[in-house]
Each structure stands twice: as C-alpha cells, then as structure tokens.
C-alpha cells in the first residue's frame, strides 16, 4: 500500500511525463508536495521504485519512468487541469487554488486492494498491499476499510456485478441479513449475505442459480461488512 505522499508524488511524476515527456526536478517535486528537503523526495522515490511503480533510467539525469499506477486510478492530465500547469506544480495549502482534478485526488482515500473475492464459488483471498484504490470519502464511515474486486455473478440480484470493487469495513461480527466477507474453514473467502439460523450460519447468494450454504458457527468468520461499491463503465 502506498502512503499518501508516495501516491501524490507518483501522480505528479506521471502527469509531468504525460504533459512534456520530462521528469520533474527534485525542486519541483519538493515544492509540489510541500516538503522541506530533497531527502524526503529521495526516500519517496526509493519507496516507489521498491514497490515497482517507477524505475530510474540509467545514464540519464532526472530520468524516471512510471511503470504502473494504483489500481482504479485514472491519471490526471496537466493540460486538462483548468489549463493551469503552474497550479498543479505549486498547489496551495489545504487544496485551495488547486485544479479540480488535483483537488479531487487530494480528497480521495487510498485503500488497499486485497485481490479478487468470489461472488460465486468461493476462492482463497490474497493480500497484495502494493495495490491501492482511490475511494470517495463519502463511501466510508468510522473504522478501517479495504477493497476487494468481485469475481462471479452470485450476487447480481443485490446489484453486485462481476468486476465491481467492493468497499469493505473491517469487522468480525455482523447482523443477520448483512452482506459480508466470510472466511470459511480458514481457507476460502466469499462475499455473501449472512443469515443466522439457530446454531448455524447460512451464506446466502442473491442469484437463484446458486444454493445457500449452511455451516456450523465455528466454520465461518466474518472479515468485514460491505459498505459500498465502485464500478467502471467502458
């Protein structure tokens, strides 16, 4: 997972490269991120390089290449930021005077993307903390959150489609009827509606093609509650 400053620097470098094909200077990066010394920029660049987001081009001063952006982030273009490149290079305090695209990114919450979660046949989840997703803060409430990419069609009647990004609030308990991330037998993870039936736990699909699965309470652990969805239209 990227820190807020790493994320800001990555987008700044990418925007400069897209605009003019030249990496920003350390002074430009220091000023854009409102840092007091260039040593902080060196540490951020090293962190981005170690995580595989950028690489330094050999034998060329100031030469950086962006290899990838965080999952779900649409790169801003300097020539579309209110027509004022200087505003992006020298953002005002607390976002004042920033172009709309830069200000919007500044306000986004960067959440870890922990991989794909089955909304059909359960699959084992994995955690790759090198990927993050920009999430509007309005989707979030109190507590810690993460995201998962939905795989499958078993929750379509609940409006959850294959390829959606599910925003999850960390929790180890849930009320009956809530849609949760459920860990089954400590091996497989699925997104289903939780139903408590006497001494059992039912994981209920929202698609008549899928059967409800029923387990003993010691076989299912809640890993979070669904609080929002993000969807990209091509």
CATH of the domain at 214: 2.10.109.10
Tell whether 71 and 54 lie within a shared domain: yes
Tell whether 120 and 206 lie within a shared domain: yes
Distances (CA, A) of 141 to 12, 167, 168, 197, 229: 28, 11, 10, 29, 14
Domain count, the chain: 2
**What mean pLDDT do residues 58-86 have?**
58
Q: Is 192 a catalytic site residue?
A: yes
d(CA 53, CA 135) in angstroms, rounded, equals: 20
CATH of the domain at 27: 1.10.10.10
Give the model's pLDDT for residue 94.
39
Tell whether 49 and 121 lie within a shared domain: no
The pTM (predicted TM-score) of the whole model is 0.56
Tell whether 57 and 95 lie within a shared domain: yes
Tell whether 201 and 92 lie within a shared domain: no
Q: Which of 73, 107, 141 is the last residue of a domain?
A: 107
Alpha-carbon 166 to chain mean position: 10
- 16, 23, 30, 192: the catalytic one is 192
pLDDT tier for residue 79 given thresholds of 50, 70 and 90: very low
Give the model's pLDDT for residue 89.
32
Structure tokens at 16: 């400069």
Give the model's pLDDT for residue 75.
55
Q: Is 36 a catalytic site residue?
A: no
Full domain range(s) for residue 82: 4-107
Tell whether 152 and 80 lie within a shared domain: no
Tell whether 96 and 20 lie within a shared domain: yes
Give the model's pLDDT for residue 116.
76
pLDDT tier for residue 234 given thresholds of 50, 70 and 90: low
From 111, 79, 110, 105, select the one nearest 91 (Cα to Cα): 105
Q: pLDDT of 91-100, one tens digit each?
A: 333 344 444 4
Lowest-pLDDT range of 10-24, 36-50, 111-125, 148-162: 111-125
Give the model's pLDDT for residue 212.
94
């Amino acid at each position: 997972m990227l820190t807020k400053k790493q994320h800001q620097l990555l987008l700044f470098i990418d925007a400069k490269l897209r605009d003019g094909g030249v990496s920003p200077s350390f002074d430009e990066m220091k000023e854009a991120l409102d840092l007091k010394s260039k040593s902080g920029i060196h540490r951020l660049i090293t962190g981005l390089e170690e995580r595989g987001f950028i690489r330094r081009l050999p034998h060329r001063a100031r030469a950086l290449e962006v290899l990838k952006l965080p999952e779900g982030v649409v790169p801003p273009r300097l020539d579309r930021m209110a027509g004022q490149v200087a505003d992006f290079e020298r953002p005002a305090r607390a976002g004042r005077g920033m172009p709309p695209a830069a200000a919007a990114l500044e306000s986004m919450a960067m959440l870890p993307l922990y991989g794909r979660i089955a909304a059909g046949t359960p699959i084992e989840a994995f955690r790759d903390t090198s990927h993050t997703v920009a999430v509007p803060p309005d989707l979030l409430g109190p507590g810690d959150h993460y995201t998962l990419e939905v795989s499958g069609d078993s929750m379509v009647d609940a409006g959850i489609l294959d390829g959606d990004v599910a925003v999850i609030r960390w929790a180890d308990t849930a009320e009956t009827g809530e849609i949760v991330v459920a860990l089954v037998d400590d091996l497989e993870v699925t997104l289903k509606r939780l139903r408590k039936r006497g001494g059992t736990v039912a994981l209920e699909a929202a698609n008549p093609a899928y059967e409800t699965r029923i387990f003993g309470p010691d076989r299912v652990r809640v890993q979070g509650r669904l609080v929002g969805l993000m969807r990209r239209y091509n």
